[in-house]
Structure 1
Amino acid sequence: MTHKSLFALLIALFPVIATSCSDDDDEDLIGHWVRTSDFDGLARGEASCFSIGNKGYLVGGYTGKTRLNDLWEYDMTTDAWTQKSSFPGTARSNGTAFAIDNKGYFGTGYDGTNNLNDFWEYDPASNAWTQKANFPGSGRYDAVSFGVSGKGYIGAGNDGNYLKDFYSFNPSSNAWTQIVSIGGSKRQGASSFVIDNIAYVCGGINNGEYVDDFWKFDPATGQWTQLRDIANTSDEDYDDDYSIVRKNANTFVIDGAAYLTCGESGGVRSDTWKYYPSTDLWEQVHDFKGSARTVAVSFSNGTRGYIATGKSGTYWFDDIWELHPYDYDPDDD
C-alpha cells in the first residue's frame, strides 16, 4: 500500500481510540518522526506555546502537582532549549497562546482555584512581559486561539459551561472586540492552525461528546465557514470513512499543509493526519513515534513541526519530536 488516503482506510483501523495502526501498516505511510533534544524544564502537560520565526516558546503548564510560570525557548536550528524570563502573572495550566508578528501573547487558563482572563505580551527582543487589556470574555480554560492578519483571536473553552464565543485582539490599540461565534458546537480543548491567512478550528469536546464539525475563519470577511466533518458522517456526495475526532490534539503547519496528532478520545492517541486545504481532505501519515499522549504542545516555523511534553495517565513527558513529512526509512527506527 502507498499513501493511504482517507477514502482507502478501513473501518477496522478505528476501534483504535487509544491505539494506532500496526507496525507493518504504519511503515507504508508517509512521514517520519525524529526525537530531538529533550525539554530542559520539568516534565509537564497542559502548557501553552507560540512560535516566532525559528523559535518555539513554551510557557506554564502542570506537573501533576504544581502549576508553573516558567518560559522556555526552543531554537529549531540549533536544537537547544534556553530558559527565558518567567511569566509574571499567576502560575497556570490550560491557558492559550499565539503570536502576532514578532511578539507572543498568552492568557486565560486555570490556577487550581480560579478560571483566569488576564492577558500578556512577550517580546523576545527584550525578553520582557507586559500585561495587556484583559480578555473580555469570562475567565476560562482550554480555550482555542490563533494569530492571523495582524490580530489575535481567542474563543470557546470552558468557564464551568462549554463555550463558543470568540473575540479578536488588536495589538496596535490594545483592544478587544467580540466577533461572531464559531458555528456548530460549543467546545473545550479544540485545536487550530493557520494557512494562507485563513484560520481553521476543529476537534474538542462538548457535554461529553467529541466534536466532529470543522470550521475555517476568514479575517477579511469576519465570517466562519463550515468544512467537511472530521468523522464518518457520509452522504452520497462524500465518502469520509474515517474518524479523527479528539480533544487536546496538536496541530502545526509545514509547507502549506496542516498536521494533527496526539490528543485523546476515550484514550490517548498517536495517529497523525495531514490536511490539504485545497481539497478539504485529510490523509493519514506516519503515527507519532513517541508515547501516545494528550495536552502536549506543538509549534512550527512553517517548514518544520514539533511536539513536546504532554501526559498519559500518571506519566508526564519532557521529550520533543520533529516530524519529517516526506521521508520514512524503517531502518532509522
Structure 2
Amino acid sequence: MSFNEINMRNLCSNVHLAVAAVMLFLGGGCQEDLSNDFSVPVVHTGEVTKVSEGKALFTGKLVQLGNNEVVNHGFVWGVEPGPTIKNSAVFLGRPKGEGVFSKEVTSDMYEGRQYHVRAFVQTNALTVYGNDVLFTSMGSSRPKILSFSPEQGTDGTEVQLTGKGFSNDPAGNKVWLGDANASVLAASDSLLMVKLGSLTFSGRFPFRVEVAGLQDTSEALFEVIGPVIDSISPQRGLPRETVRIYGKNFSEVPHENRVQFLIPRQRFHQATVLSATPEQLVVKVPDLKAHQTDQWEVRVSVPTHQKTAISPQHFTLLNATIHRFSPTHGLGGTVVKIYGENFGIDPTTINVLLGVTHMEVLLATNDSIYARVPYDVYGTRSNDIFRPIKVLTITNTTTLFQKFRVEYAFQAFAYFPGMIMCGLVGATDGRLGYFGAGAISGWYAYNPRSGRWTQKASWPGISRQYATATEANGVIYVGLGVRSFGQLHSDFWAYYPQRDQWEQLAPFPVGRFDAVSFSIDGKVFVGMGEGVGRYTDIWKYDPAVGIWSRCADFPGEPRDYATAFTVNGKAYVGLGYQKRDLWQYDPQLDQWTQVGDSPVVSHRQPSFTLNGKVYIPGQGNSTYGPSFWEYDPVNDSWRRLPNIIITSSNGNILTQYNRSVQAAWSIDGYGYLVSPNSGGSNCSRFLIRYNPNL
C-alpha cells in the first residue's frame, strides 16, 4: 500500500453500522466495519446522475474527516477501473465538513464512452478514494482558451494557457500553435503549461486545444518571432500582375526575401520581388495555373530569421472567361475583338485559336483581346468554315460555344477549256477577258455575265513561253517570248476583239522573254526582261504610226519576272525575282520616280486594278495559297489581304492553290486570276474570281 494513497477497500474493516448505512445509501460497496479507525478520512462515491449532452452530476459522501486535516476533495474519472488524480480530475478545495458533496462535470468526457468515477479526499499526507462507479457519458462541453502568456516567442518557448474545460491529465490535452504541435508539460482543468517545438513558420497564429475530441481556438494570436505577413493586396489577380505584401521583419534587400505562391504540400512558384522595405514587399505574381487550384497560399522567408511567414489570406487566381466576340464572320486578316474578363495585359502570355489555327494577338487588356484571323486560314471541308474561338492564358483555357464563320474572297468559276501549260498570257478589253496564245495557239474569251469561255481565232505566232500581253484602246497586244531550246522571239501581234482577227505588227527591237508591258493613252510600252543578259530598256509602240521608239530606261537594277500596272495615267514597274523596289513612270515627262518598296517578293505575278487600287499576288510558296496584296498609289502604301484560298460555289474549300498566276484582269468590279498549269491540281484550271466587297 502506497503511503500517499490508501484505497477505500483497505479501510473497510471497522466502520460502524451508521456509516455502513450511509455507504449503502450512496451505493458504496464496503462490507466491512471501520468504526474503530477514526484516524483517516472516509469517502464514498455516489451514483452519477443527470447524465445529459455535455454534462453529468458526480456525487460523493465525506463520511469522516479523520484525525488529519483535509485540504482538498473532489472526483476523478477514467476509462480504466480505479482512476486516480493522475487521470481526469476535478478539485473542489477544502471541504466544509462531513456530508454529501457534488459537482456538475462538463469536460473531458467522450460521448458514448464508459467511465469509472471515484470521489476522493486529500490530506497533507495521503489521498483516499471512494468506491468505483461506472457510467456512460453523453459527452462534455467544449474547452475554452481565455488567454495565454507570453504573447510571442520562438522554438522552445514555454507558454501558459488559461481557460476552462481542460483535462487534468496532460495526456488528455492536445495543443497546437497554428498547425505545429506543442508539448503539454502540466495541466489542470483551467491551466495548461505548454512548450513550443521546432517551428518552421513565423507570423501570428492561434493556439488550439482539443479535449475529449472537442476543440477550441484562441481569439488572440501568438507571434512567432520572424517575418510576419499581415495582409496582401490585392487578394485577387492574374499572373505577372503586382501584389503588395504588408507585414514586418522583411529584408530591405529584395533578393533576400523569398516569396512563394503555393498549394500546400505541392509544387511552389517563386515570385519576383520588385522592391522591399522591412514592412512591405512588392512582388510580381508568378505564372500560376488555374487547373491546379484558384486558391494560393503566399509565404515569405528571410534567411536571417530562419523562419517562413504565411499570409493569413489566400491569393485568388482569376480565371479567364470569354463572353462574346465581334465581328462573328470575316476574311483572313480580319481583326476580331474578344470580350470577356481576366485575360491579362501581356499579349505574349495569351494564345488565341480559331479552331486549331493560331490567331495573332495584337492587343490585350483584362477584359478584351484584339486578335487577327490568319491570312492563310485554311480548311478541307465546308464545315471548317465555322470555327470556335479559344483563348489560352497562363491560368486556364476558355472556349465560347459560338463559332466564327470564315469567309473566302476567292471563288472558282468557269473551267478553262484549253490546253493547260506554262507561259500563257491574258488581258481584257474591259468587257471580256482573253487568255491563251504563247505556249498554245488556242485563244479564248471569258464572259463574266454568262460565266462561259468561248474559243476565238487562233493565235498565228510560233509556240513559245513567257510572252507578254497588254491592252490599249480595246486591242490586245501579244509578243516576245522564248522557245524551249533558247530561241528568242521579237515578233508582236495585235488582236482585234470586234473582228476576232490577229494582225502582225512591227517587230520589237530586241528579242527577249519575261518582259513587262503596259499601256497609257493608247500607247503600248514594253521592256526589261531577259535575253542576252537582263535589260532595263523601255520602248513605246504607237499604233497610229506603227513604230517603236525608245523611252527613258528603267532606273532600277536589270531584272526579269517584273510586274507592271497603270493607275491614273501613270505606270508602276518593279518587283521581280528577289526584288522589292517599285518605280513610277510619267509618260508625259518620260521620267521615273521611286516609290515605296513592296513588303513581299513577287515575280511572274500579274496584277489588276480596281477602284484606283492595285491587287497583286505574292509568290506561291505559302502552305495555304499565295499571299495577296493591295497597293494604294495615292498613299503609296501596301496592305495584306487574305491568301488566295479558293472555294467552290457550294462553299467547299478546294485543294490548296499554290501556283503562280499567269494572267489577271478586272471586269465589272471583280478581279479575275487565271493560271492553267500542267503541274497544278484541278483547281488551277478554274478561272478565279476575287470579290473585294467581303
TM-score range, shorter chain: 0.7 to 0.9
| Bigger radius of gyration | 2
Using the TM superposition, give the Cα deviation of residue 28 of structure 1 relative to its aligned residue in structure 2, in angstroms. Answer: 10
More strand, by proportion = 2
Contact 1:75 1:81 (8 Å CA) reproduced: yes
Task: Specify the code of the residue in structure 2 equivalent to 1:49.
Answer: G
Structure 2 residue 435 is matched with structure 1 residue 58: yes
Contact 1:31 1:323 (8 Å CA) reproduced: no
Contact 1:254 1:300 (8 Å CA) reproduced: yes
Match of 2:674 in 1: 308
Q: How many Å separate the matches in 2 of 1:311 and 1:276?
A: 30
Structure 2 residue 582 is matched with structure 1 residue 211: no
Structure 2 residue 418 is matched with structure 1 residue 41: yes
What is the percent sequence identity of the aligned residues? 27
Match of 1:14 in 2: none
Q: How many Å separate the matches in 2 of 1:132 and 1:285?
A: 39
Q: Choose which of 588, 591, 607 in structure 2 pairs with 1:223.
A: 591
Per-residue CA shift, 1:148-202, capped at 9, x if unaligned? Answer: 1110011111103121111000000001101111111111111111111111112
Per-residue CA shift, 1:13-41, capped at 9, x if unaligned? Answer: xxxxxx9634489x999971111111111
Match of 1:118 in 2: 491
Match of 2:640 in 1: 284
Match of 1:109 in 2: 481
Structure 2: runs of 5+ lacking an equivalent:
1-332, 337-358, 361-373, 379-386, 390-403, 647-656
Number of residue pairs the alignment of both structures matches: 292
Using the TM superposition, give the Cα deviation of residue 262 of structure 1 relative to its aligned residue in structure 2, in angstroms. Answer: 4.5
Q: How many Å separate the matches in 1 of 2:621 and 2:528?
A: 19
Q: Choose which of 532, 545, 560 in structure 2 pairs with 1:160.
A: 532
Contact 1:144 1:154 (8 Å CA) reproduced: yes
Which is bigger in relative contact order (C-alpha 8 A, separation at least 6)? 1
Using the TM superposition, give the Cα deviation of residue 3 of structure 1 relative to its aligned residue in structure 2, in angstroms. Answer: 6.2
Task: Specify the code of the residue in structure 1 equivalent to 2:687.
Answer: I
- Closer, same or farther: CA 315–156 of 1 in aligned 2, 3 Å: farther
Contact 2:601 2:619 (8 Å CA) reproduced: no
- Closer, same or farther: CA 280–261 of 1 in aligned 2, 3 Å: same
When normalised by structure 1's length, the TM-score is 0.80
Q: How many Å separate the matches in 2 of 1:312 and 1:229?
A: 33
Using the TM superposition, give the Cα deviation of residue 255 of structure 1 relative to its aligned residue in structure 2, in angstroms. Answer: 1.2
Match of 1:324 in 2: 691
SS at match of 2:491: strand
Q: How many Å separate the matches in 2 of 1:288 and 1:185?
A: 29
Contact 1:31 1:326 (8 Å CA) reproduced: no
- Closer, same or farther: CA 45–29 of 1 in aligned 2, 3 Å: farther
| More divergent stretch after superposition (36-45 vs 148-157) | 36-45
Match of 2:381 in 1: none
Match of 2:562 in 1: 190
Per-residue CA shift, 1:125-158, capped at 9, x if unaligned? Answer: 111111110011x211111110111100111111
Contact 2:416 2:676 (8 Å CA) reproduced: no
- Closer, same or farther: CA 264–162 of 1 in aligned 2, 3 Å: farther
Q: 1:210-289 counterparts in 2 under 5 A?
A: 210-230=578-598, 243-264=599-620, 270-289=626-645
- Closer, same or farther: CA 203–171 of 1 in aligned 2, 3 Å: same
SS at match of 2:537: strand
Using the TM superposition, give the Cα deviation of residue 322 of structure 1 relative to its aligned residue in structure 2, in angstroms. Answer: 0.7
Task: Specify the code of the residue in structure 1 equivalent to 2:424.
Answer: A
- Closer, same or farther: CA 227–169 of 1 in aligned 2, 3 Å: same
| More divergent stretch after superposition (165-174 vs 155-164) | 155-164
Q: Choose which of 286, 292, 299 in structure 1 pairs with 2:665.
A: 299
Task: Specify the code of the residue in structure 2 equivalent to 1:288.
Answer: I
Contact 1:245 1:265 (8 Å CA) reproduced: no
Contact 1:249 1:261 (8 Å CA) reproduced: yes
Using the TM superposition, give the Cα deviation of residue 269 of structure 1 relative to its aligned residue in structure 2, in angstroms. Answer: 5.5
Using the TM superposition, give the Cα deviation of residue 49 of structure 1 relative to its aligned residue in structure 2, in angstroms. Answer: 1.1
- Closer, same or farther: CA 150–247 of 1 in aligned 2, 3 Å: same
Task: Specify the code of the residue in structure 2 equivalent to 1:221.
Answer: L
Match of 1:144 in 2: 516
